Amino acid sequence: MILKKMRIRQFRNYEDQTLMFDQGIQYITGRNAQGKTNLLEAILYLSTTRSHRVNDDAELIKESRDFFLINGTLEKGNRSIELRIHVSKEGKNLFIYKSPIRKVSDFVGTCNAVMFCPDDLTLFQAAPRVRRRFIDMELSKMSKTYMNALTKANRLLKERNAALKLESINQEYVKVIDDQFLDLQVLIMKQRKKFLDELMSCGKNFYEDISQDLSDLAYTYVSAVPYEEDENAVKQSLRKKYEKNWTRDCMMKQTMIGFHKDDVIFTINGKEMSVYASQGQKRSALLALKLGIVFMNKEVTGEYPILLLDDVFSELDEYRRKKLLEVLPSEVQIFITATDRYSIPEECGKKITDWYVEHGTVKKGAENYGSK
């Protein structure tokens, strides 16, 4: 998959710009606060229909403007796919080949992009919601079944919480919600476990290659009930937990256990990575997980995703930068942003196109002020 053409209009600090991209590495330099990250954010938005930095789309609209527009032309094999997203204060409109798309799940993942940015380095020690979002975002791009289940489960969660907030709570009505709600939760738990099993299996190999460290990486999925192969048994265990937790839910006016409270604890040699891993181990582990996602996408969709590396070269030493580019096939289109133009070894075998960003304008070519 290649992003061949992109138009950004009134997005962040961009007024209106159309860019033509090549295969290989798009190396984007520029001083801080010029628009490098905004460019990658726009590409990721084209993939997920949401920002990885803010929750309110209104914050993405350029100051004093009423809307933003992102157009993208993808090359998938012999096919060319045109995408468009128009966001205003009235709402969000999605289009494929100029045809309106009603369901977000029919749009997400058409442009498949994987982001790695400095904020990701907090994944291991961040709040559980950050790890859930990481899993949900990556898995949703690969599985429409998962995304649809997640969307329905979130809708039922809102309905359940609304019922719990009423002065007179109808327990029978909540039980009707729970019948479908619990089925969806079992599916979500199953898909998350499968995703994590495959990710860790793939990520371990990359970790050893990148870090030359043979430490054992693993994870523990933390849920209200333990997962087992018998899905009906998991559902019944969840139902009993919900019945036991009923009084607490009523008192707190919200659902206190479930898929929206689950967590993942990553470990190294059996110990929590957030506490015992060094900064170097955390960087290598996260990089390995991101690479694992790139290759999992290829397995699931048949296409490599676009890889977005936002200001992470400064976080990696020369050896890790080299290994990162060596393990990625030439078919992977890579966008790199940095304040400095780090050298890329010729043996990485990838075409490099330089870009320079200044005041929300992107130009082809590199400035030499920060070459390394």
My answer on whether 136 and 99 are in the same domain is: no
Q: Is 372 exposed, middle or buried, given 0-12, 13-18 or 19+ CB atoms closer than 10 A?
A: exposed
Amino acid at 162: A
CATH of the domain at 267: 1.20.1050.90
Count the domains in the chain. 2
- Whether residue 184 is contained in a domain is answered as yes
- Whether residue 366 is contained in a domain is answered as yes
Sheet strands (E) in 35-185: 67-76, 79-88, 91-96, 99-101, 113-116
| Final residue before a domain boundary, out of 302, 323, 340 | 302
My answer on whether 324 and 189 are in the same domain is: no
My answer on whether 184 and 293 are in the same domain is: yes
pLDDT at 367: 64
Low pLDDT (below 50) residues in the chain: 369-372
pLDDT at 371: 46
pLDDT at 77: 85
| Final residue before a domain boundary, out of 248, 282, 302 | 302
My answer on whether 200 and 179 are in the same domain is: yes
- Whether residue 308 is contained in a domain is answered as no
User: Which position has the token pair 């789309």?
Assistant: 57
My answer on whether 150 and 253 are in the same domain is: yes
pLDDT at 313: 83
My answer on whether 155 and 210 are in the same domain is: yes
| Final residue before a domain boundary, out of 302, 325, 345 | 302
pLDDT at 369: 43
CATH of the domain at 324: 3.40.50.300
My answer on whether 276 and 178 are in the same domain is: yes
Sign of CA dihedral 333, 337, 338, 341: positive
My answer on whether 104 and 186 are in the same domain is: no
What's the CA dihedral at 127, 129, 131, 134 to 10 degrees? -140
Q: Residues within the annotated binding site for ATP?
A: 30-37
pLDDT at 342: 76
Q: Residue 370 is part of which domain span?
A: 1-112+314-372
pLDDT in tens, 34-66: 999 999 999 999 999 999 999 999 999 999 999
The Cα 331–Cα 303 span in angstroms is 9
Q: Residues within the annotated binding site?
A: 30-37
- Whether residue 307 is contained in a domain is answered as no
pLDDT in tens, 345-367: 666 778 899 999 999 999 998 76
